[in-house]
Amino acid sequence: MSEAGPRAERRPTRQRAALTDELAGTAEFRSAQDIHASLSASGTRVGLATVYRNLQAMAADGEVDVIRTTEGEAVYRACASEQHHHHVVCRGCGLTVEVTGDAVERWAEAVARDHGFSQVRHTLEIDGLCAGCGVRDPR
């Protein structure tokens, strides 16, 4: 499956550093555009294309997590843990919690193999309303 791959030595640049800092500053998933806007706002001029490029590269190297919102937009976040994990995201405020679940990992693997699949991967995202949001928005 070739992921979390060869940390091809990327040349350190001011832009990449700024991006890393920005990501380190928040715990929530953010879109590339959002991150770019945030950087610009704080006076750090970085091209949008650069943000996308770096984000992709970092994601490929496993430095950041990427998930797709239901609308198809990609959102990124610095990994809190190196190991494989999943997220529980609040639909109301974006609060994110990382969770691991060996049971699930094994289950997915087993189910896939039962059907003759190999090189198994999986994506699992859980979302709901966090304690705070759940009270008011019974959407």
Q: Which of 62, 56, 53 is nearest to 5 (CA)?
A: 62
Among 27, 37, 48, 95, binds DNA (CB under 7 A): 48
Instruction: Classify residue 19 by burial, with Cβ atoms within 10 Å: 0-12, 13-18, 19+.
Output: buried
Among 38, 62, 88, 94, binds a copy of itself (CB under 8 A): 88
**Residue 96 CB: number of other CB atoms within 10 A?**
20
Q: Which two tokens stand for residue 107?
A: 């289950």
Query: Residue 5 belongs to what H/E stretch?
Result: none
Q: What is the nearest approach in angstroms of a copy of itself to the Cβ of residue 135?
A: 9
32 vs 90 by CB, closer to DNA: 32
| DSSP conformation class of 80 | S
Residue 13 or 42: the one with the smaller Cβ distance to DNA is 13
Binding residues for a copy of itself, rule: CB under 8 A, are: 1-2, 68, 70, 72-74, 88, 90-91, 97, 99, 101, 103-104, 107-108, 111-112, 115-131, 134, 138-139
- What does the binding site for DNA look like in residue numbers (CB under 7 A)? 10-16, 31-33, 45-50, 52-54, 56, 72-74
